[in-house]
Structure 1
Amino acid sequence: MNDNMEEYDNPISYDIENNAYVGEIPFLIEWASKKRGTIIDLACGTGRITIPLAQNGFNLIGVDLHAGMLEQAKKKAEELQLKIEWLEQDCTQLDLNCKSPLIYMVGNSIQHFHTNESQNMLLSSIQTHLEEDGIFIFGTRFPSAEELLQPSTEEYWKTYTDTTCNKEVDVYTISNYDALSQMQHYTTIRKFKNADGIVVDETRTHISLRYTYPKEMERLLLENGFDILHVNTDWKGTPISNDSYEMIYVCRKQI
């Protein structure tokens, strides 16, 4: 997984582009409010969700493999005078000094675990660090035909303003799906425009993501010691359907 991190090599720019995504927070606060103890945010990145939960009074541990993202998370937490424990660890080999009543993994991070072996190792590691009757919540993209069979040509995605350079950025993607490995290979193109709307710079990053089908995920979770409580299509609790874009799982450690 270490060679699949181009997208995260500039943590400050990552924050600028992604900080608007906060849809998970109310859902996670609702579940966190039902539990007592330290909550673990896996693949926490720059603390996009870790920090808001800590601001709501919960005790958090943030775990990530990317040192640069963790440094950015630490800096942000220190500026807000928040006490959060940040750990640089591989999520498939967690070595924490506690068990948690609630572990979550958002941002579709589970798609970074490309092989059956790494998926099993991840879930086993999480299971080991959950308290009895503990809850694991995560999201992953829904493998619909529309999602997987995107054209392998440059396609517009979104526009944002990069405040580090005061330029508007148009973002495009190129997608190539490998059905045998269930991997979508993305190229993300960012075109930086000056005040006149002229493109003055362009960057490209690459990332590969594993897609897991609903029945496949059901078997994977059950075999690794989890009961599925809910499968939603969004962080508002809408039931999953054929038109879903995401799969949000709420699982309980089997007793």
Structure 2
Amino acid sequence: MRAANLSTTIPPMEQNSLYDRPDLYDLMAPPDRVLERFYVEIARERGGRVLDLACGSGRLTIPLAQAGLQVVGGDLSAEMLAQARRRAEVQAVSLELVRLDMRDFDLEGRTFDTIIVAMNSVLHLHSLDDFRGFFRSAGRHLSPQGRLVFDAFLPDIAMLNADPGRRELIGTVVHDELGAIMVEETARYDPLTQVRHVDWYWSSEMEKDFWQVALPMRSIFPQEMPLLVASGGLRLIERFGDFDRSPLAAGSMRQICVCAPMPAP
């Protein structure tokens, strides 16, 4: 397993980011076999070369590699990449990991049959410049018949209008050293930026609110998505409402997007 020496643009990490603590993040993001199967199958349809952006601690990168695909995992967080490397070593999985910012990256002319951004990670992009840079960077790294595939929650109007001062329990997990942990959140939605500003509060049996992290997430409405994709020179060619490839419908909870390069003039 090797880390590539590649040209990237990497801004300073945010202070007190959720991604500083892979041990806690992984507790809130357990394996999802349905999601894994979808991305493995759709990558196999295109070919063997896969770029897993916002790969985090390797939750999807490792299953992709175990399926026999040639995988590069990229993430902004050095801590998450270190966790991915440890997990891959424990499972004797060979993959390549690189630190990058998906808003602007250059992997030295390499192209991929499938580029993946899974588990709502595209919602970390907030501005039009963020999206334009991301789609342009992804497009430069797609093979002629390659596909960019990503999933994002559909905005829930009731959730966006929730009381910003109210704490909601979102999960209870067990940490190897800290024991039982309760995770709560508050959220405030800004309709001008379409960013939902979430704060997560972590409490153990010994200490309430021993950690607090901000998790601002962009809302992308269905009619807006094709315009964002096109802003970076790609086209949205297919969209599903779930990982079973059912059509996007009014009752869908997510939009799963398949994008391709623009056809040559």
Task: Tell me, yes or no, if the aligned pair for 1:17 and 1:162 is still in contact at 8 Å.
Answer: no
| 2: CA distance, partners of 1:37 / 1:96 | 17
Rounded Cα–Cα distance in structure 2 between residues aligned with 1:5 and 1:52: 29
Which residue in the other structure is 2:170 paired with? 157
TM-score by length of 1: 0.91
Q: Does 2:24 correspond to 1:13?
A: yes
Distance 1:29 1:20, change over 3 A: closer
For each residue in 1:8-43, what CA deviation from the matched residue of structure 2 results, as whole angstroms up to 9, or x when unmatched?
111122123312334321111111221223200001
- In structure 2, the residue matched to 1:133 is 145
Question: Does the 8 Å contact 2:242/2:254 carry over to 1?
Answer: yes
Aligned residues: 249
Q: Matched residues in 1 for 2:119 and 2:184: separation? A: 19
Superposed CA deviations along residues 107-126 of structure 1, whole A, max 9, x for unmatched, are 21111111101110000000
Q: Secondary structure at the match of 1:91?
A: coil
Structure 1 residues 113 and 172: alpha-carbon distance in aligned structure 2, compared to 1, 3 A threshold: same
Q: Does 2:86 correspond to 1:78? A: no
Q: Does 1:63 align with 2:74?
A: yes
- Cα distance in 1 for partners of 2:138, 2:224 equals 19
Say if 2:125 and 2:131, in contact at 8 Å, map to a contact too: yes
For 1:4 and 1:140, the matched residues in 2 are separated by: 25
1:230 aligns with 2:238: yes
Alignment of 1:107-146 (within 5 A): 107-146=119-158
Aligned to 1:93: 104
Residue 54 of structure 1, aligned match among 59, 65, 69: 65
Verify: 1:239 aligned to 2:252, yes or no: no
Residues 197 and 217, structure 2, Cα contact 8 Å, conserved in 1: yes
Give the deviation of 1:91 after TM superposition. 1.2
Deviations 1:99-143 (A, max 9, x none): 001001012111111110111000000000001121111111211
Letter of the structure 2 residue corresponding to residue 30 of structure 1: E
1:24 to 24, 28, 35: 35
Q: Larger deviation: 222-231 or 10-19?
A: 222-231
CA distance in 1, matches of 2:160, 2:246: 22
- Residue pairs, 1:158-173, within 5 angstroms: 158-165=171-178, 167-173=179-185
Which structure 2 residue ranges, 5 or more long, are not aligned?
1-10
SS of the counterpart of 1:214? coil
Alpha-carbon distance in structure 2 between the residues aligned to 1:210 and 1:67: 23
CA RMSD of aligned residues (A): 1.8
Structure 2 SS opposite 1:12: helix
Deviations 1:127-166 (A, max 9, x none): 000011211111112112123112211012122211232x
Q: Distance in 2 between matches of 1:4 and 1:208?
A: 13
Letter in 2 for 1:244: S
Structure 2 Cα separation of the partners of residues 218 and 24 of structure 1: 23
> 1:225 Cα shift?
2.9
User: Does the 8 Å contact 2:81/2:97 carry over to 1?
Assistant: yes
Task: Report sequence identity in percent.
Answer: 28
In 2, are the aligned partners of 1:133 and 1:254 still within 8 Å (CA)? no
Shifted more, 153-162 versus 3-12: the winner is: 3-12
**Partner Cα separation in structure 1 for residue 159 and residue 254 of structure 2:** 10
Matching of residues 195-214 of structure 1 within 5 Å: 200-202=207-209, 203-214=211-222
TM-score for both structures, normalised by structure 2: 0.88
1:216 equivalent to 2:224? Answer yes
SS of the aligned residue for 2:133 comes to helix
CA shift digits 1:175-212 (9 cap, x unpaired): 1000011110001112223xxxxx64422211211112
What secondary structure sits across from 1:122 in the alignment?
helix
Which amino acid is the alignment partner of residue 173 of structure 1?
Answer: E
